Amino acid sequence: MMFIPHSDAERDEMLAAIGIQSMDDLFEAIPKRYRFPKINLHEGMTEIEASAQLKEIAEADLSVEDVSCFLGAGAYHHYIPAVIDNLISRGEFYTAYTPYQPEISQGTLQGIFEYQSLIARLTGMEAANASHYDGATACAEAGILAYHQFRGKRKKILISPGLHPHYAAVMQTYLENFDGVHIEIPEFKSLDSVTPQNLADLIDEETAMVMVQYPDFFGQLFDYSEFAEIVHAKGALFCMSVNPIALGLLKTPGEMGADIVVGEGQPLGIPLSLGGPYLGLFAAKKDLIRKVSGRIVGETVDNRGQKAYVLTLTAREQHIRREKATSNICSNQGLNALTAAIYLSLLGKKGLQDVARLCYDKAHYAAERISKIPGFHVLNSTPFFHEFAVACPAPVSEINEHLLHHGILGGLDLSRMIPSLQNVMLIAVTELNSKEAIDDFCRILSGDENDDES
Amino acid sequence: MNIIPGFFYSKNDEWVEVKGTKATVGITDFAQNSLSDIVFVEISVSEGDHVEASDLIGTVESVKAASDVYTPVAGVVVAANESVIDNPELINADPFGKAWLIQVENEDGIDTSGLMNAEEYKTYCEGRG
């Protein structure tokens, strides 16, 4: 859309229409001293100067392109095919918004519909919405759905200590003002204690929803099929927060009996960009569809029998019965959802399997190498995907400083989120970590710096 | 338009059939006709819940609109119709029969004061065109 400012002639015409002489007359009601306050702004730069300054600011930041990255913990460094930027930069798509007259933008709606279909397939669920802000807010929307599903009669939301601590914190923020809702997270004791079995004992008749992460925050994988049966036997809903890349390789949440699947969609072709904007995945079983928050695009036919797309089931969103809606959220991450749809279409089933397999294999290669370094010990004793926790011989912050000196971005210092995990690093490996980079990482960890050129 | 003699009616187009201390509640033929094809029914109370007259008991959603349903009479819910939840189109087919929504019981008797009889409801509907 072009921005065309008013011309002087138009201004004069408007002033004449309301019967005043000048713009000063228009603002006469505002005391003079407030009318044009002095704003201490920079006097301006030339484009060349501004460009140089922006470059300087950007260079002060460390990009994953400049280092060898072993940091994950919810945001992952994957390859983003060049075609993605090319397609999403098209003028027709380059907006984060679903237009306010959505049906006039059939291309936008079709993009969302394709995204929903892909997410439903990937998670093994019957329906997916048009997306939420990010993984954490999608988790919170799941909690709100569960609250409404039981009409506020079940007040407990049980969260695995294997859920990303930031997601749990966002759920707490969203849900703390819902009447009587309480969030229960068993205290983290040790990595070995973060299991479905230990969570199962805490499910009771008060429980509205049980939430786990798959793979969990520490990379652990469990088959939740039996656990889902236990949750359902207590009458509660079972929600899984997933890493979509992992689903290229693993049994789907749908196969395991999940009622709701949420997750962070960033790994699907979305850049790390300092933590956002990301993409909240949200899928559910068909019988929950009317309680699913946000927007859902459906396929139909128009009055000439041609295929067409519409926003569907909006009666409960914000238009007709907003006071009865599960949630009044109606933003979706349109552009990032489109990115995920393009990424998944581009890779295809086989490509996604390959990416997941590479992540898995490389992470296991790295874990095996690291476990042989004296003083380092891999804590994961159950199957894991592309992330694992390592007990280190020194504080992680010190090790990371040393690694960075060698051009390596180390893993997350887990003590920052879980104080009892002193000297424990959470390491992520993706398809972008070459064997050489992993070998280098292990070499620096082992204290051997002879071959280092930097 | 069908109206059953002997039933009681609310201004919100719910009907009540009283048998002893029990009452059955549903929505009327006029209501289903103005909503058109019903695609979704939610009953938001369950057995054992105490309801007062005018309490929300559920929602009926058609291709055109979503409408709240209130109980016109007070009591304890003794039954909710599961089959109408599974087959929302029953409301279009048989609003006064198979598509009842809930049954309530009140040992002090069902209070129908403030409700219309069939004759009054017929006039009320005609007045709305």
Q: Is residue B35 part of a domain?
A: yes
Number of structural domains found in chain B: 1
Phi, psi of B18 (to 5 degrees): -100, 130
Q: Which residue of A has its CA nearest to B62?
A: A315
Partners of A151 on chain B (C-beta within 8 Å) are 44
3-state helix, strand, coil in chain A (%, to 5): 40, 15, 45
The 8-class DSSP code of residue A403 comes to H
Q: Which residue of B has its CA nearest to A322?
A: B66
Q: What is the pLDDT along chain A (454 residues), one digit of tens a residue?
A: 567 788 999 999 999 999 999 988 888 889 988 887 888 888 899 999 999 999 999 888 888 999 999 999 999 999 999 999 999 999 888 875 666 678 888 988 999 999 999 999 999 999 999 999 999 999 999 999 999 899 888 999 999 999 999 999 999 999 998 889 999 999 999 999 999 999 999 999 999 999 999 999 999 999 999 999 999 999 999 999 999 999 999 999 999 999 999 999 999 999 999 899 999 999 999 999 988 988 899 999 999 999 999 988 765 555 666 666 777 776 778 899 999 999 999 999 999 999 999 999 999 999 999 999 999 999 999 999 999 999 999 999 999 999 999 999 999 999 999 999 999 999 999 999 999 999 999 999 998 876 544 4
Provide the greatest CA pair distance for chain B: 40
Helix (H) or strand (E) holding B59: strand B56-62
Position A454 scores a pLDDT of 44
Residues 48 to 77 of B: which have CB under 8 A from any A CB?
Answer: 59, 61, 65-66, 68
Q: Is residue B42 part of a domain?
A: yes
Q: Determine the topology of domain A82-343 in CATH.
A: Aspartate Aminotransferase; domain 2 (3.40.640)
For residue A59, CA distances in Å to A98, A402, B97 come to 34, 21, 74
Cross-chain Cβ contact A315/B65 below 8 Å: yes
Q: Are residues A240 and A253 in contact, defined by beta-carbon separation less than 8 angstroms?
A: yes
Please say whether the dihedral angle defined by the alpha carbons of residues A352, A358, A364 and A367, taken in this order, is positive or negative.
Answer: negative
Position A322 scores a pLDDT of 66
A321 and chain B: CB distance < 8 Å anywhere? yes
Domain boundary assignment for chain A? 68-80+349-445, 82-343
Peptide bond just before A37 cis, omega within 30 deg: no
Helix (H) or strand (E) holding A183: strand A182-184
Q: Which residue of B has its CA nearest to A287?
A: B86
A404 and chain B: CB distance < 8 Å anywhere? no
Partners of B66 on chain A (C-beta within 8 Å) are 315-316, 320-321, 324
CATH of the domain at B28: 2.40.50.100
B40 and chain A: CB distance < 8 Å anywhere? yes
- A119/chain B closest Cα distance in angstroms: 25
Q: Cα(A146)–Cα(A209) distance, rounded to whole angstroms?
A: 6
Q: Is residue B121 part of a domain?
A: no
The 8-class DSSP code of residue A291 comes to G
Q: Cα(A412)–Cα(B46) distance, rounded to whole angstroms?
A: 48
Cross-chain Cβ contact A324/B68 below 8 Å: yes
Partners of A320 on chain B (C-beta within 8 Å) are 65-66
Q: Cα(A99)–Cα(A103) distance, rounded to whole angstroms?
A: 8
Sequence-distant (≥ 6) Cβ neighbours of residue B65 within 8 angstroms: A315, A320, B35
Same topology, domains A68-80+349-445 and A82-343? Answer is no
Q: Which residue of A has its CA nearest to B66?
A: A315
Which two structure tokens, joined as six digits, stand for B9? 């009616």
Cross-chain Cβ contact B61/A315 below 8 Å: yes
Which residue in B35, B42, B86 has the most chain A C-beta atoms within 10 A of its own C-beta, making it the best mutation to test that interface? Answer: B42
- What own/partner pairs with CB < 8 Å and gap ≥ 24 does A94-101 have? A94/A335, A95/A334, A95/A335, A96/A277, A96/A333, A96/A334, A96/A335, A96/A336, A97/A331, A97/A334, A98/A130, A98/A295, A98/A311, A98/A332, A98/A334
Partners of A324 on chain B (C-beta within 8 Å) are 59, 66, 68
Q: Is residue B113 part of a domain?
A: no
Residue B35 domain boundaries: 8-108
Number of A:B CB contacts under 8 A? 14
Peptide bond just before A271 cis, omega within 30 deg: no
Q: Is residue B48 part of a domain?
A: yes
Nearest to residue A449, comparing CAs of A396, A408, A397?
A408
The pTM score is 0.85
The fourth-level CATH superfamily of domain A68-80+349-445 is Aspartate Aminotransferase, domain 1 (3.90.1150.10)
The amino acid occupying position A326 is T
